[in-house]
Amino acid sequence: MVEWSDSERNIITSIFSSLDYDDIGPKALCRCLIVYPWTQRYFGGYGNLYNATAIKSNPLIAAHGVKVLHGLDRAVKNMDDIKATYAELSVLHSEKLHVDPDNFRLLADCLAIVIAGKMGPAFTSEIQAALQKFVAVVVNALGRQYH
C-alpha cells in the first residue's frame, strides 16, 4: 500500500486540476510515439504515422491522448487504491491489446516532460518527485495483471 503525504496529495491534485487535457494528452502521446517509434505498433489502425508531423496532426492519436489522460484522472481520484482502480485496464492492455508493459513507463516519462515544459520554473524538484512517484504507482498498477 502506497503512502501519500498531504503535500504529495496536494501537488498531484493541483497539477491535474490545472492541466489542459486536450493539450497535454495529445502532446504526451505524440512525444512517446516519436521518441520511441516502436510504440507505434499498437496504433496500426490509426492511419498516417509516417513521421513526426503526421503523428502530431493525426486526430485519432490526439483523441487517444486525451483518453489516456482521462484514464489517469481516475488514479488521481483514487490515490489510495490505484491498483484496484486499474485492474480492468491492466487486463485490457495485457490480454487484449498486448501492450509491452515497459511502454507504460515510456509514456509516463513523456507525460512528465510535457508537464515540465508547460510549468517551466514552477516545476520544482519537489513537484517532480511527487509526479514521478504518482506515475510510478500508475505504471506498476497497469503492469499488475501481466503474467
Distance (Å, rounded) from C-alpha 30 to C-alpha 141?
23
Binding residue (CB under 6 A) for ligand HEG from 16, 82, 104, 109: 104
Distance (Å, rounded) from C-alpha 122 to C-alpha 75?
23
Binding positions for ligand HEG, 31-90, rule CB under 6 A: 39, 42-43, 64, 67-68, 71-72, 89
Determine if 91 is a binding residue for ligand HEG (CB under 6 A).
no
Site string for ligand HEG, 22-41 (x = CB under 6 A): -----------------x--
Site string for ligand HEG, 107-146 (x = CB under 6 A): xx-----------------------------x---x----
Specify whether the backbone of 98 is left (phi greater than 0), alpha (psi in -120 to 50) or beta: left
Burial call 6-40: b when 16+ CB within 10 Å, e when fewer:
eebeebbeebbeebebeebbbbbbbbbbbeeeebb
Distance (Å, rounded) from C-alpha 59 to C-alpha 85?
28
Q: Which residue number, 7 or 24, has a Cβ lying nearer to ligand HEG?
A: 24
Minimum distance between the CB of residue 71 and ligand HEG, rounded to whole angstroms?
3
Minimum distance between the CB of residue 121 and ligand HEG, rounded to whole angstroms?
26
Distance (Å, rounded) from C-alpha 67 to C-alpha 9?
23
**Chain residues in the site for ligand HEG (CB under 6 A):** 39, 42-43, 64, 67-68, 71-72, 89, 92-93, 97, 99, 103-104, 107-108, 138, 142
